[in-house]
Amino acid sequence: MSKSSRMLNEVAEDGLNCFVDGYVTLANKPNALLEGLGIRISQYLDFDGLRIMKVFLAALEDSNFHTEAGVVQEWIDELEGDDND
């Protein structure tokens, strides 16, 4: 596992601390880790939805989900257009 992967895993694990006791079970831990990572990313980006969407866009592009990335880019463009009105 690369250093960056270990660091992201640590961030996701830390995100599990956001949940109330008993929420995370062995059965839902994989999804809870994703939620925890999302929570920490949201906090890191100061809850700025547009910045969160740009991170999501980069992840989609890096994963070769180009069609989906195009949809997200359209959403970003719409939101940025709203800011310029």
Based on the domain organization, do 29 and 17 belong to the same domain? yes
Nearest to 36 by CA among 13, 54, 52: 13
> Hey, what amino acid is at 6?
R
Based on the domain organization, do 18 and 52 belong to the same domain? no
Based on the domain organization, do 39 and 68 belong to the same domain? no
Count of the separate structural domains present in the chain: 2
Range of the domain at 17: 1-44
Based on the domain organization, do 2 and 39 belong to the same domain? yes
Write the pLDDT tens digit of every residue in 6-59.
Answer: 998 899 888 888 888 888 888 888 889 999 999 999 999 999 999 999 999 999
**Which of the two residues, 4 and 60, has the higher pLDDT score?**
60
Based on the domain organization, do 52 and 19 belong to the same domain? no
